[in-house]
Amino acid sequence: QYAVAPVANCVKLPEHVRTQDAALVEPLSCAVRGYDVLRSRLGAHVLIYGSGTMGLMMLELAKRTGAASVDVVDLNAARLETARTLGVSGSAANADELDRPQGWDVVVDATGNAAAIQDGLDRVAKAGTFLQFGVADYATRVTIDPYRIYNQEITITGSMAVLHSFERAAERGMFEPGVIAVMP
């Protein structure tokens, strides 16, 4: 079947991108937008909660943008193994198992789970940033410490889907090794 789409809604893919791989452009564009919001700096220590598709894309973008280390927390052992295969610095079912007592410069929640969000907020280092990237239910609530946010200059921000990042996600470089691994 075919459909007609306005040219403004179309993105030309590089010649080497297979149709089945192109299905990853939309979720990758969300991850690209998330990284835009972060304004992460070179050499940052990054902690990602969740190693599903979106968490792994954030892992690859963190590595590509010069993170000093990228750690991942997930309760699913198989997903953690995938993260290890992709070259994560550290992986664990609980952030307490990772050796970073001073916290992380960037903490990303890619789960939307209240417990993960709450734990992640407490793991942000001084002058660090917390990104709410996973979709939480509208009724989800967590507790913040306003004095800590003020005193330690912590930034809390969110990223909602695709804003001017779709075209960049479709670019040739995003489908090269080290950004997203596509199946042969």
Q: Which domain holds residue 88?
A: 19-175
**By mean pLDDT, which of 19-23, 136-140, 178-182 is the weakest?**
178-182
Whether residue 57 is contained in a domain is answered as yes
58 confidence band (pLDDT: 50, 70, 90):
very high
For residue 182, is pLDDT > 80? no
Which residue carries 């691994």 as its tokens? Answer: 181
How does the average pLDDT of the chain come out, rounded? 90
Number of domains into which the chain is organized:
1
Among candidate residues 97, 162, 153, the one with its CA nearest the CA of residue 130? 153
Whether residue 4 is contained in a domain is answered as no
Whether residue 71 is contained in a domain is answered as yes
pTM of this prediction? 0.89
Whether residue 159 is contained in a domain is answered as yes
Whether residue 12 is contained in a domain is answered as no
184 confidence band (pLDDT: 50, 70, 90):
very low
For residue 148, is pLDDT > 80? yes
Whether residue 100 is contained in a domain is answered as yes
Whether residue 62 is contained in a domain is answered as yes
Whether residue 117 is contained in a domain is answered as yes
CATH number assigned to the domain comprising residue 72: 3.40.50.720
pLDDT exceeding 70 applies to what percent of the chain? Answer: 92
